[in-house]
Structure 1
Amino acid sequence: MKLLVLGGTHHVGRALVESALDRGDDVATLNRGLSRPPAPGVQALIADRTDTAEVSAALGPGEWDAVVDTWAWAPRVVHDSARLLAGRAGHYGYISSRGVHRWPWPPGADEHAPLVDGDPGSEDGADYAAAKRGGELAVTEVFAERALLARAGMILGPYEDVGRIPWWLRRLEKGGRVLAPGPADTPLQYIDAMDLAAWMLTAAENGVGGTFTATGRPGATTIGELLETILEVTGFDAELVWAPPEVLEEEGFALGMEFGLRYPHDPAPTGIHDADVTAALAAGLTCRPLRQTLADTWAWLQAEGDPPPRPDAPAPDTWLDPAAEQRVLARLDNKEPR
């Protein structure tokens, strides 16, 4: 395909570019050109997405078989891009989020669960859920059945800049006794960015449109399996000490929230890790083994170092302060009075 990636430098965008190049696609990216140099063979179009005139000039007379957009802020930006590309692209894929569903998410929710309100012309990107929903409406207004909305679950894998797996890799690398958010058999549902990218590209090539919950199978893994597999893949000398959620709640720790395992005053939210992904699987989504995701993430982190933190992501010390960790470990050992 002749592909245009709006973004293309971070996490899913970078995965899209690499997957497309591996497929032999003719790839162009459009971004500000500030984060990373373009990969060899990529046509780099430079523009500030918020400036419609700049975007129009950068696009020039170009035409593409497919466009994939990762934008997560003001929906108006998506709307303007979609309108500029309406007659010049055959397919528009938009990386959305399960966050567009109204909280609390019902157990086993699929694409038809209640949605938050969104405005495709809004300049406000502060509310992530509303912004993504507005982006969905912007794309479908212009591209209709030629639009693919991928409502992603928790996205892991190489290039992750939110600080989930990279944080855990660095913590476990230090070794020793490590506080872990129990219980260990708590289910996790996620998707590797590379799998999401590969599916988006195949769907674009096949002209697949519509709305899909795009994440892994429910029940495929647990928090215990994830952290134990990190130890197996890396060989780190660390011991996981599982803390009950009520202890973490009492201590005021955010540990576990990085994976959506719990939230304040709601230690076991429903609907986070049991989404119905029947539609996406039927449309060709496949997911690689957990071990491969973790090994690839560790290889990337070793090769490139820790990614710069995203301005909208929690600070690295949010999940667990080292001194506080030792205090809770002592409490769990009954060495410190409650």
Structure 2
Amino acid sequence: MRLLVLGGTEFVGRALVDEALARGWEVTVFHRGRHPAPPGVTVLHGDRTAPDGLLALNSGASGQAAGPYWDAVIDTWTGAPVAVRDAAAALASRAEHYVYVSSRSVHSHPTAPGADESAPLVDGDPDDKEDGDYARAKRGGELAATAAFGERALLPRPGLVIGPGENIGRLPWWLNRAARGGPMLAPGPRSLPLQYIDARDLATWTLDALERGLGGAYNTVSERGHTTMGALLDAVVSATGNRAEPQWTAPDTLLLAGVEPWSELPIWVPPGELHDTLHGADVSKAHAEGLRCRPAAETVAATWQWLHALHGQAPHRPDRPQVGLAPEREAELLRQLPTT
């Protein structure tokens, strides 16, 4: 297949490019040139937020006035929906399919446990030039892609995405923390179920779906309870040499101490409404179409191998805040809080 990836140089986009290249597909990446492009691709440079920023998509037309033709376009944009609108409109007659990698965040909060793709959605506007509200921006992107491609638009909706190449810092923070060793604050309960997806599994399913011509929205995360907080941190400790000693702490104790779930202790949110929203999706539709998620220990080990090769210095998106407890704050919490 001839594939155009808008972005394609970091995390999810890079995982999609790597998987396409492994299948022998012809891959073109269109990006701003801020990060090296993967070897083996055709590179087009442009800034989709600038006037005439999409002009490079007309290069290499091989005599076609409308520009080159692709079997599919993949778009991982997380900013203002108008950028998706303009790209999708420009490519509607030059590509068979358009994949917009969206998010389960497009569902209205709170989302009931067991909700599928038909659950209520936030309002979105494909003409919106603002990107301050992530959920509305992603929903606007969905509407833009669907307006241009109709049933030819595929909308994977992942939730938490981890794995090698992560540039948000959640799993890398835990790995670096465990590698330092010593007593490590661990948010309970150990049995807390987690639902997420490895970026490589998301890439595999997305390209399989393209080959089968699927369209529409799909919740693309693991089955509920694919792993637990305890199993994940056990894998983190094991992968980094068993130097850390998890000190399991009750969720109410952490909350009373002012610990911020998700940001100060990445990945973790306590049992309750937010946890049900993040980790309670019905994923039967995507799994019926072949979605398979590798064991957590495999994701953790591969992420540590990647991170260790970078000497613990994972790339970080400038538009996302840093995550994780500062060592001094963690030490103070360990002194003050009852742990097991």
Query: Does TM-score exceed 0.5, indicating one fold?
Result: yes
Q: Note if 1:313 corresponds to 2:312.
A: no
Provide structure 2 residue ranges, at least 5 long, that are not aligned to the other structure: 60-66
Contact kept in structure 2, 1:260 and 1:272, CA below 8 Å: no
Task: Tell me what 1:47 maps to.
Answer: 46
CA distance in 1, matches of 2:133, 2:315: 23
Matched to 2:314, the amino acid is P
Distance 1:150 1:52, change over 3 A: farther
Task: Tell me what 2:37 maps to.
Answer: 38
Could you tell me the TM-score, scaled by structure 2's length?
0.93
Q: Note if 1:154 corresponds to 2:160.
A: yes
* Aligned-residue offset at 1:307: 2.5
**1:199 paired residue among 199, 205, 209:** 205
* Aligned-residue offset at 1:24: 0.6
CA distance in 1, matches of 2:51, 2:92: 14
**1:131 paired residue among 137, 142, 146:** 137
* Aligned-residue offset at 1:274: 1.5
Percent identity over paired residues: 50
Task: Tell me what 1:5 maps to.
Answer: 5
CA distance in 1, matches of 2:146, 2:198: 25
Provide structure 1 residue ranges, at least 5 long, that are not aligned to the other structure: none
* Aligned-residue offset at 1:285: 1.1
CA distance in 2, matches of 1:136, 1:58: 21
Moved more, 74-83 or 295-304: 295-304
Task: Tell me what 1:101 maps to.
Answer: 107
Contact kept in structure 1, 2:2 and 2:70, CA below 8 Å: yes
Contact kept in structure 1, 2:45 and 2:56, CA below 8 Å: no
Q: C-alpha deviations, 1:255-289, integer Å up to 9, x for none?
A: 555225149xx686422212100000111211111
Q: C-alpha deviations, 1:45-103, integer Å up to 9, x for none?
A: 00001135221333331110011100001100001000110011011011000000000
Q: Note if 1:254 corresponds to 2:260.
A: yes
Q: C-alpha deviations, 1:94-121, integer Å up to 9, x for none?
A: 1000000000111111101110000001
* Aligned-residue offset at 1:188: 0.5
CA distance in 2, matches of 1:144, 1:267: 34
Q: Note if 1:241 corresponds to 2:247.
A: yes
**CA RMSD, 1 decimal:** 1.7
Taking the TM superposition and a 5 Å limit, the aligned residue runs for 1:84-123 are 84-123=90-129
* Aligned-residue offset at 1:21: 0.7
Distance 1:229 1:148, change over 3 A: same
CA distance in 1, matches of 2:338, 2:93: 65
Matched to 1:292, the amino acid is E
CA distance in 2, matches of 1:123, 1:54: 15
Q: Note if 1:329 corresponds to 2:329.
A: no
